[in-house]
């Protein structure tokens, strides 16, 4: 039975797997989101009925094995929102992880426990997944670094598939240099990260979706990027459309895949599912083939737009979230409204498969907010390098919240 421990980050604090004695990550510790297979255990995916109806894994997820071979040691399995299908960070069955850098506020989901474990200095880094923002949003809310890699750059073998064409394995750390080292281990088909961005793009329509105090707090981070790489160029990202339409595209395309993953099991088992998530799953069931086909067509247009604006080496400078973390225990309705605001921003990268990284550079009323960088598909190493250059040392009072 789950017993809340430090920051209520873990479903299993006792899980311990020692990594290799040598390697690029030797001596580091990491936590694993409860969506990853760990040999001899069941990945509950945030739902007790899922745990009850599934067998223990026979092998570790590939990402876990890769990190162990690089010298990192597992120290705990962390809470996830049910089926990773929430951006808020509250679990009806296992509780709400505590945000160490914003007490009384959520960590963000669905990789809430992983973010809490890193922010609370319980481990050096943690694995999460990001289908619609589940690494980038907890990173922003908790004041730590987080990367959603390009789709396909990190193996998903042995990881619960929420929506396969959106799913990615990402990670959190308090240190940008460690983020970069983890990338050197996990990213498949590595590239040299010697290049700097050709341009910095500032999508005005995206920034309009951000609270004014958050935008103001992030201004010094934008200025520092300009000092390093040249002035930003203002532009409109959702050209000929708008972010609300992009959100609806994301919602339908993802929702159809989620029902394909979970529908048969839900109808067979009739599991207990927490409020908010149950209603969204019911909505997923209602989606028609025509609705999915239309969303997939629009998704191709959005991916083409991102490719057009990033293929020359440009990097988009964005807010990671519309504002700081919301208070814990908000009503499901309030959470759903905020969820839509968040995913209008966090749903852009999943629609196009591009990488995006959250950088903890500011606070609003004492709560962390993050700047983020988005680049062409396959340019993950460039974002990791930029994060180190931007946040490796304090400049004019600008520093990561370590």
Helices 243-269 and 277-286: crossing angle in degrees, nearest 10, is 100
pTM of the model: 0.96
Over residues 144-171, the pLDDT tens digits come to 999 999 999 999 999 999 999 999 999 9
The pLDDT value given to residue 129: 98
Distance CA 312, CA 300 (A): 19
Q: Examine the residue annotation and report whether 134 is marked as an active-site residue of this protein.
A: yes
Catalytic residue among 73, 86, 110, 328: 110
Report the Cα 291 to chain-centroid distance in Å.
Answer: 26
The pLDDT value given to residue 396: 40
* Spans of the chain below 70 pLDDT: 1-5, 192-194, 331-334, 393-402
Give the sign of the dihedral formed by CA 223, CA 224, CA 225, CA 227: positive
Over residues 277-324, the pLDDT tens digits come to 999 999 999 999 999 999 999 999 999 999 999 999 999 999 999 999
In the block, tokens 């873990």 appear at: 10
Q: Which of 163, 172, 209, 224 is nearest to 30 (CA)?
A: 172
Catalytic residue among 86, 134, 140, 358: 134
The pLDDT value given to residue 5: 61
Q: Examine the residue annotation and report whether 33 is marked as an active-site residue of this protein.
A: yes
The structural domain count of the chain equals 1
The pLDDT value given to residue 195: 78
Catalytic residue among 33, 77, 181, 385: 33
Q: Examine the residue annotation and report whether 21 is marked as an active-site residue of this protein.
A: no
The pLDDT value given to residue 394: 40
Which tokens in the block code for residue 349? Answer: 């990268």
Q: Which domain holds residue 334?
A: 1-402
Please answer whether residues 372 and 346 qualify as being in contact, where contact means their C-beta atoms are separated by less than 8 angstroms: no
Distance CA 71, CA 321 (A): 33
In the block, tokens 């190493």 appear at: 381
- CATH code for position 336: 3.90.1300.10
């Amino acid at each position: 039975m789950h017993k809340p421990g430090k920051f209520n980050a873990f479903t299993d604090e006792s899980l311990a797997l020692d990594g290799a004695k040598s390697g690029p990550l030797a001596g580091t510790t990491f936590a694993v989101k409860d969506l990853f297979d760990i040999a001899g255990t069941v990945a509950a995916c945030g739902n007790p009925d899922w745990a009850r109806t599934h067998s223990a894994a026979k092998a570790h997820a590939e990402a876990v094995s890769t990190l162990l071979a690089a010298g990192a040691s597992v120290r705990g399995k962390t809470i996830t929102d049910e089926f990773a299908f929430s951006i808020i960070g509250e679990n009806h069955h296992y509780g709400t992880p505590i945000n160490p850098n914003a007490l009384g506020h959520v960590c963000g989901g669905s990789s809430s426990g992983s973010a809490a474990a890193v922010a609370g200095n319980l481990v050096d880094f943690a694995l999460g997944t990001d289908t619609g923002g589940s690494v980038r949003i907890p990173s922003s809310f908790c004041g730590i670094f987080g990367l959603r890699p390009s789709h396909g750059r990190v193996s998903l073998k042995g990881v619960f598939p929420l929506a396969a064409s959106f799913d990615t394995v990402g990670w959190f750390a308090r240190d940008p240099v460690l983020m970069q080292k983890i990338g050197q281990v996990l990213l498949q088909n590595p590239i040299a990260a010697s290049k700097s961005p050709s341009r910095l793009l500032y999508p005005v329509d995206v920034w309009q979706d951000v609270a004014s105090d958050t935008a103001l707090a992030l201004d010094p981070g934008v200025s520092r990027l300009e000092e390093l790489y040249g002035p930003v160029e203002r532009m409109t990202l959702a050209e000929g459309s708008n972010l609300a339409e992009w959100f609806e595209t994301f919602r339908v395309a993802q929702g159809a895949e989620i029902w394909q993953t979970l529908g048969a099991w839900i109808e067979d088992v009739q599991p207990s599912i927490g409020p908010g998530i149950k209603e969204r799953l019911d909505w997923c069931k209602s989606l028609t083939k025509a609705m999915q086909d239309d969303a997939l067509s629009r998704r191709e247009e959005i991916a083409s737009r991102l490719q057009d604006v990033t293929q020359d080496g440009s990097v988009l400078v964005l807010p990671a979230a519309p504002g700081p973390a919301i208070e814990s225990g908000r009503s499901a309705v309030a959470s759903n409204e905020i969820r839509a605001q968040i995913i209008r921003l966090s749903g852009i990268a999943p629609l196009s498969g591009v990488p995006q990284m959250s950088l903890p550079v500011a606070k609003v009323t004492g709560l962390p907010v993050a700047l983020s960088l988005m680049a062409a598909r396959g340019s993950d190493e460039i974002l990791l390098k930029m994060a180190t250059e931007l946040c490796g040392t304090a400049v004019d009072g600008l520093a990561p919240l370590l």
